[in-house]
A and B are shown apart, each in its own frame.
Chain A
Amino acid sequence: MKIGIILYSLLVFHGAFEYKSGNPGSLFPWQIAVHDCTSPAVMGTPALLPLADGLLLNSSAGRPYSEEALSTGSLTVQYGYGDYGLQGSWNSFGADFYREHTFSLMGGYSILPFLQAGISGNIYMLKIDTDELSLDEKYADTDIAFIITPFPWISGAFIQKGVISLFSRQNSSVIYPERSAGILLKPGRGFSLAWNITDTAAGKVNTFAATINPAPFFSISGGYCRENSSLAASFGVSAAELLVSYGLRFHPFLGYTHSLGITFALNLQIESLDYGKPLFRRNKKRINIKSASPDDLKEIDGLTALSAERVILYREKIGPVNEKALVQIGLTGEEIKNFESSVYGLERSGNNRGKEKEYKKFRKKAPRRERIKHKFRSLISGGIKAYTAITYSELSESAERELFYRKLNDDSSLTDEQKKFIKTTCSE
């Protein structure tokens, strides 16, 4: 019953030769203008042939819509060298009493670095042998295709199938002159996205496909057709010069299509993904900032040795490190982010409100170390660099008070205004 519906609809509504390819990698059976070429592939359009590299042989077979009586098969020979590419193929689709054969010879040439073109000559053979109808017809037709690649990551493509059918009434009753336009995005190694709009006998169809090659021996493709909500997926596994691929399509009404392909290529290479860095360090043990050694701190991602030393110095000279302190000692935004996610025990900046006033009240009674800390904080908040602030806050509390004034007056790295500020702050 189902096979009858499929073949009847093909003949009456669509015309013959609608089922373009049974190759697993082609995802959909109709013509598309552009598809992924990051792994050795049978080219669906002659304009892609300049991308072929060396010799490729492919054979595939499939069972459309899980229908036992239906089958597809194909054989392809491809050769590419420099700016040229050639491909000869045979495709077959149908059942015992209905069979379509398509012989195709394609040639492609890279006219300019950003422009490729191709042409193909096809012979279509249709054989019907039923009690009511017997037919054995041959048709010849040709296709033309172009691909423009303005940037390495984007290509635009167009293919016109059945150029003769476009003008000849005889051919057009059997072969629908499909045309398709598409965009291929290749934003990174081993990954591509394709969008094609194809004008088929049944109407315009949009297909979206994504190809990801997770490893140099493994490729996955997935696709979606908007108009009939059909989904398709395929994967390929390579070993030495051989690539075995399997494809599965799901049509909401007609069911599943299985296909299997085997490819031999002299230069078989699958362009694999570029893997990135970890999103965040999940396995790093968080460090207690109150007791971390300089070596521990240096293990924090992105924190330089100098910044680690400053953190230690701050902790020794002033006290617990807080968020504000990280800014003061010159850590960048990214360093602070990494720092906060890698440590615990970080003091909160907001908690010191009101403490300053309290401290002033008792600072006269405070020990020398506390007084140095207070002066350092005041200098830092006044815009003095950390190293300079440490030097002068310590000197001001040392026995050699004169050394403090002498060094300050001779310090050429400070402006007069800064010197005045340091003097006032440290004399409090």
Chain B
Amino acid sequence: MHVKHLISTFIPSALLIAILCPAVLYGNNYELLVKSGVSREVLDYEGDSADLTARGGTSLNLADSFNFNFTALRNIDTGSSSCTWNIAVKNISGSLDFISGNYSLHFGSGLMMGRPSYRSSDPFSKKISIAKDRSISPSNGGNPQYSLFGTAFDLHKIFEDLRIDIIPFYSVQRRFISRDSFDAGAVDSSLFSLNTKLEKSGNNTEPVNIINCGGAFGFNVSDFFCFQAYCFETDLKGDSGKDILWDRDKDYGGGGIDLIRNSGFFAEYADNSIFLFIEPAVSSISSNHTVTDYAMSFGTGIRNSIVNFKLCGKNSGKDFHSEYSSGSRTPERIWETRCAVFPFKFTETGFTVYSEKDLTPAYNRDYTDGSVQEEFFAGIKTETIDISFNLKRKEHYSDSRQDPVERGYLSSGFFLTERTYFKIRTSAQKMSGNISFLYSGEMKIFSPENITISIGYTEIRITGDVPYYAVISPASENSSLTCFKETARGGSINVKYKKERDSFYARFTVIKTGSGFRGDAESAMTLFF
């Protein structure tokens, strides 16, 4: 049977049976969530534009063991639509979890397999994306671009001080390429770019499947030690099984990549005050010949009532490739350290240093770029007042001269009355002798009827041609930084209602720049039945 027919007949029937049967069996021990909303979000992490997005979805939970999620999303600006869905069943016979549909995987610290997140072009937005996370998470955002699609299992067995997990998975992500590329059996673009081609559009008419399969084997010992070994491979094929190569223009040779195999091992010690992990991994790119290279992530940290210290890093070989990493896919040497000291319960001070060095030059360049980001921060937080201050500096190493960027930030929030909170913040950014400023004030009123109203005003004064990334106060719930290239003033009002877990949220924003007025509205509603 053709795959399309299988999807159109089998899945709806399976969904219907899967939802109705448990609903009858579980009686009132269920939870139904309905959510909808409109917001401005960045859907394509490679770009930097936030599109107006409408989202609606539902989630059904039966006795904490069966879960069905469906979310539909429409990009109002581009007119495109997408959806994500999944069915998750937990504790089948006490030892098997299962998910089918859109899901994300996270193995080890996310070096090879993790969930990517959006980083804006703000010079200070870079942060290390190396951390342990849940192995399997359902994708409920409505955007299938960055999630796998297929099936994953978690077979687990618990002994006295030992938990063993076996996680096999299989994923088929359907994307579209041009007829010419299909006939040639190779595409120029990377898999990451191909991921954005969710629908037939323009020349991209031929369906292909990005196939990922593999698994992880892990065990936890005495609640302190965690070990996980994993391997998986990535391939691109047509519906008929025709092999398609990708990254045709890259230097791997052979007219493109045929297959990528990844494997790694993660070892961690963690308790409530200390953590230490290391993850060596190997990627193997098969083309006419096979290119194999390594990467390693590491981290350590100590936390107690006086200090919170963390150091994480990643180093890789020049031919290392990690398509599904939670951080960068390309070879790099990065590390980040953060040290916060709490001299008193209500104060915090410390620093953060983030260093990044690419290991392969960008297209048409022969210099590998790098940067160092430093931050000093201090803050006071009591029940009634909240003051925070930071100084940031970013220096970029490149063959083209670029001055360092410096930014200072001061904010102060306090309760005027029991139900009225006031916050002011100011920030200045200096680059190439040009200083830009931000001033902002915000008032929040907490009504006894679980309603919170926030009103804010923000002014951004730009000097020179260096953009300033900021949010108009009060910040949006899906807050992503807006890039201001000219002086702007803006006001915003947020209304939020939250009772138990039901919530409603609306936000109206007006921004005035030299080019004119711009208005925006966002809302979101979540109801539990």
CB neighbors of A among B271-313 (8 A): 271-274, 276, 300, 302, 304-307, 309, 311
Query: What mask results when residues 323 to 361 of chain B are scored 1 for a CB within 8 Å of chain A, else 0?
Result: 000000000000001010101000000010101000000
B271 x A344 contact (CB < 8 A): no
B29 x A278 contact (CB < 8 A): no
Which 6 interchain pairs have the tightest Cβ spacing?
A276-B273, A278-B223, A187-B306, A187-B307, A276-B271, A276-B272
Query: With an 8 A cutoff between CB atoms, is B374 at the interface?
Result: yes
Give B500's nearest chain A residue, CB to CB.
Answer: A350
B220 x A346 contact (CB < 8 A): no
Mind listing 14 A-B residue pairs with CB under 8 Å? Answer: A185-B306, A188-B302, A188-B307, A208-B339, A226-B374, A275-B274, A276-B274, A278-B271, A279-B223, A283-B222, A344-B63, A348-B29, A348-B30, A350-B500
The SS class assigned to the B binding surface is: strand
Query: With an 8 A cutoff between CB atoms, is B528 at the interface?
Result: yes
| Residue numbers in B under 8 Å from A185 (CB-CB) | 306-307, 341
Give B222's nearest chain A residue, CB to CB.
Answer: A283
Partner of B501, one of A229, A279, A350, A355: A350
* Cα distance A285–B93 in the bound complex, in angstroms: 12
Query: With an 8 A cutoff between CB atoms, is A124 at the interface?
Result: no
What would 11 more interface pairs be, CB under 8 Å, given A283-B220, A350-B529? Answer: A153-B306, A185-B307, A193-B309, A212-B302, A224-B353, A229-B372, A274-B273, A285-B94, A320-B29, A348-B31, A350-B501
* Cα distance A286–B63 in the bound complex, in angstroms: 14
Partner of B306, one of A188, A285, A350: A188
- B50 CB to nearest A CB, Å: 34
Give B94's nearest chain A residue, CB to CB.
Answer: A285
Partner of A350, one of B224, B271, B343, B528: B528
* Cα distance A347–B31 in the bound complex, in angstroms: 10
Query: With an 8 A cutoff between CB atoms, is A214 at the interface?
Result: yes
Write the residues of chain B forming the contact surface with A, with a CB cutoff of 8 angstroms: 28-31, 63-65, 90-91, 94, 158-163, 220-224, 226, 270-274, 276, 300, 302, 304-307, 309, 311, 337, 339, 341, 343, 351, 353, 355, 372, 374, 500-501, 528-529
Query: With an 8 A cutoff between CB atoms, is A197 at the interface?
Result: no
Partner of B272, one of A226, A278, A348: A278
A222 x B302 contact (CB < 8 A): no
B302 x A277 contact (CB < 8 A): no
Give A352's nearest chain B residue, CB to CB.
Answer: B28
| Residue numbers in A under 8 Å from B337 (CB-CB) | 208, 210, 224
Partner of A277, one of B161, B272, B306, B372: B272
| Residue numbers in B under 8 Å from A154 (CB-CB) | 343
Give A277's nearest chain B residue, CB to CB.
Answer: B272
| Residue numbers in B under 8 Å from A320 (CB-CB) | 29
B311 x A222 contact (CB < 8 A): yes
B158 x A284 contact (CB < 8 A): yes
Q: How many residues of A contact B (CB 8 A)?
A: 39
* Cα distance A286–B337 in the bound complex, in angstroms: 36
Write the residues of chain A forming the contact surface with B, with a CB cutoff of 8 angstroms: 153-154, 185, 187-188, 191, 193, 208, 210, 212, 214, 222, 224, 226, 229, 273-286, 320, 344-348, 350-352, 355
Partner of A278, one of B65, B160, B224, B339: B224
Give B273's nearest chain A residue, CB to CB.
Answer: A276
* Cα distance A279–B158 in the bound complex, in angstroms: 18
- A221 CB to nearest B CB, Å: 12
| Residue numbers in A under 8 Å from B63 (CB-CB) | 344-345
* Cα distance A30–B341 in the bound complex, in angstroms: 26
Partner of A351, one of B31, B64, B65: B31
- B210 CB to nearest A CB, Å: 32
A279 x B272 contact (CB < 8 A): yes
B339 x A193 contact (CB < 8 A): yes
| Residue numbers in A under 8 Å from B300 (CB-CB) | 212
Partner of B29, one of A210, A284, A285, A351: A351
Partner of A210, one of B64, B309, B355: B309
| Residue numbers in B under 8 Å from A210 (CB-CB) | 309, 311, 337, 339
| Residue numbers in A under 8 Å from B528 (CB-CB) | 350
Give A282's nearest chain B residue, CB to CB.
Answer: B220
| Residue numbers in B under 8 Å from A347 (CB-CB) | 29
B271 x A277 contact (CB < 8 A): yes
- A153 CB to nearest B CB, Å: 6
**Given A185-B306, A188-B302, A275-B274; A281-B223 close (CB under 8 Å):** yes
| Residue numbers in B under 8 Å from A222 (CB-CB) | 311
| Residue numbers in B under 8 Å from A278 (CB-CB) | 222-224, 271-272
**Given A187-B306, A350-B500, A351-B29; A283-B162 close (CB under 8 Å):** yes
Partner of B270, one of A153, A274, A279, A355: A279
| Residue numbers in A under 8 Å from B161 (CB-CB) | 283
| Residue numbers in A under 8 Å from B65 (CB-CB) | 344-345
Give A347's nearest chain B residue, CB to CB.
Answer: B29
* Cα distance A379–B65 in the bound complex, in angstroms: 32
- B45 CB to nearest A CB, Å: 29
* Cα distance A113–B95 in the bound complex, in angstroms: 59
| Residue numbers in A under 8 Å from B353 (CB-CB) | 208, 224, 226
- A346 CB to nearest B CB, Å: 7
Partner of B276, one of A188, A214, A346: A214
